[in-house]
Amino acid sequence: MKKIILLIQFICLPIVGLSQEDGIYNIKDYGAIGDGAMLCTKAIQTAIDKCNASGGGKVIVPPGNYLSGPLFLKSNINFEVMSGATLLFDNDIENCPIVDGRWEGIERKVYASLFTGHDLQNVTITGRGTLNGQGEAWWEAFYRTRDIRMQNGITEREPDNPIGSPLKVPRPRMINLYNCSNVLISELMLVNSPSWTIHPVYCENVTIEKISIVQPHDSPNTDGINPESCKNVRILNCFVDCGDDCITIKSGYNEDGRRVAKSCENIVISNCTFANGHSAIGIGSEMSGDVRNITVSNCVFNGTSRGIRIKTGRGRGGVVENYRADNIIMNNVTTAISIDMYYGNKDTAKLPVTIETPFFKNIRLSNITAVNVKNALIVKGLPEAPVEGLSIVNSNFSSKNGFQASFIENAEFKNVHVNCENGNPLIIDNGETVDIDGFKSDNLENKEAVIRLSNSNDVYIHNCKTKVSTEIFLQSKNTENLKLDNNWLYKASVINE
């Protein structure tokens, strides 16, 4: 009998050691219990720390429901939430650690996230399991804190929360990484985040792929993926349905953003589907450190308030430049394309250009199909800083309202088809050097002009064709250096005031 027991021990002991020798750390080996009730923070953090101390490896969350407070990642870790496993974020606000971070473009103290990482390399969070932020308590605390701020006359984001507020500092995210490189986030389901879901800051070489993010549509600030002041980011094959922006690219807010002066650049977004949310893919309004070299391709937007959205306002400074979007399908979107430099501002007078003046340059949107939308396009440049180099090519829009663009420069509308129920299909006010090539619209029962120009200069309209029933092709006012060439207008008139 003793020989049998010794043999069993000889067989079993190496199996326990083999797991860690192979660099695999199961959180249950450190005391985690998957009943959804026991707080497993210490057990999971121990597995992370030991994995890192051994030179790196994989931390495994096996099937079960595991309650955890904030976790602090380490370098060379693959954190895998297996299929059938759910990691539940503890909503104990009072005992949530406070750490250095960045919130809404300002460096400040924040609550630690479910996953927080600073100055790391080779970080992977993956698996077919679920991260559940249990954000309801955080959302309620946010609303109560917001009310207290308003009662104290605090309307700007810079001041801290008043004493006695439910939130001492801004809410946690689900995944929040700072100054990390070689990051992979893959295949997870993320739900009910306390605020922004995935928020890499000052990171480089980041891949986010094959994830699903689902948040309640009325949950506050539950953005999907917000890369901020990052370089070389790839967001691929993802589904995002959230209570705010699905993806927003940022680079800092006003003076603090200019102080840090770190751009967000070289961002690729491809093969993704976005539902609901304030915008499918946005830039800003925090872009004071510059945003450049963005490509979006092969994506579907369904039910978002805006499709492509770029926003800023006076005070930001910085530039957004070199943006390309191609092969996009939109359905049931309020505004298909929104480019707004008046975000948070109302003064329409021309102001001097200063370090606080933002700029938008070189934005090319092609092969866009948008149906059942309210507004096809709204562009609002600044008098002192028009939107430069806007190009919309080979695209079709079916909408209630057509294109409305003001203060644009070196713009191109080529092979664009806009069918709108109300008003003019194309309105341009204060355009400088505008090329309208092959623009057309079919349904003009409202008898409005196809194109309406005002206060513009150097406008070339060519290769356009009207319907037989079209009464007015062009109505222009205070427009100089206007040239029409090779247009087929049937009986449509041109009115020059």
Dihedral over Cα of 112, 113, 114, 116: its sign: negative
Look at residues 266, 271, 198, 183 and name the one whose alpha carbon lies nearest to residue 230: 266
**Residue 35 and residue 53: Cα distance in Å, rounded?**
28
Distance CA 113, CA 97 (A): 9
Distance of CA 415 to the CA centre of its chain: 29
CA pair distance 455, 432, nearest whole angstrom: 9
Measured CA to CA, the distance from residue 161 to residue 398 in angstroms comes to 45
- Nearest 5°: phi and psi at 359? -135, 140
Q: Say if CB 320 and CB 361 are below 8 A apart.
A: yes
413-450 CB burial, b ≥16 within 10 A, e <16: bbbbbbbbeeebbbbbbbbbbbebbbbbbeebeeebbb
Paired tokens of 8: 């069993």
> What span, in angstroms and rounded, lies between the C-alpha atoms of 347 and 354?
16
Rounded CA separation 229/257 (Å): 9
SS3 content of the chain, % helix, strand, coil (to 5): 15, 50, 35
Contact 377, 403 (CB under 8 A): yes
Measured CA to CA, the distance from residue 472 to residue 469 in angstroms comes to 9
**Cis, peptide link before residue 285, omega less than 30° from 0:** yes
Q: Which residues are CB-neighbours of 493 under 8 A, at least 6 positions away?
A: 471, 472, 473
Bridge partners for 107 per DSSP:
102
For residue 41, give the 3-state DSSP assignment. Answer: helix
Q: Are strands 106-111 and 98-103 parallel, antiparallel or unpaired?
A: antiparallel
User: Which active-site residues does the annotation give?
Assistant: 244
Strand spans (E) along 438-492: 451-454, 457-462, 472-477, 480-485
The three-point CA angle 307-234-66 to 5° equals 95
